[in-house]
Amino acid sequence: MKKWLDRWFARTQVRLAPQATLGREVPYVASYSLLELERAGLTAEQAIVAGLAIDRTRNSALGSNVIQLEKLRRAHGWKRTRD
């Protein structure tokens, strides 16, 4: 019974990690793009302080990544870098 419950709840777990679009796929990636940081109101320096990896070559912005970064910015009490 425990194995069954573990498998059931493993399906409902949410992984908070950056994602990128790759055709129709949305795989997890290791870092956030500069555009996502900008849209969330974060600077590259703030992202480094928070321990986030930055992908300077990817220029896409996924809404879920921006929302995660906005939550991080508010949790740290940082002001938006642009308005």
Q: How far is CA 41 from CA 1, 11, 60, 69, 71, in A?
A: 46, 32, 16, 8, 11
State what percent of residues in the chain have pLDDT above 90. Answer: 49
Largest Cα separation within the chain, whole Å, is 52
Helix (H/G/I), strand (E/B), else coil: 59? coil
pLDDT tens sequence across 37-57: 999 999 999 999 999 999 999
Q: How confident is the model at residue 58 (pLDDT cuts 50, 70, 90)?
A: very high
Distance CA(52)–CA(71), nearest Å, equals: 14
Domain range list for the chain: 31-83
pLDDT value, residue 15: 66
State what percent of residues in the chain have pLDDT above 70. Answer: 92
pLDDT value, residue 68: 92
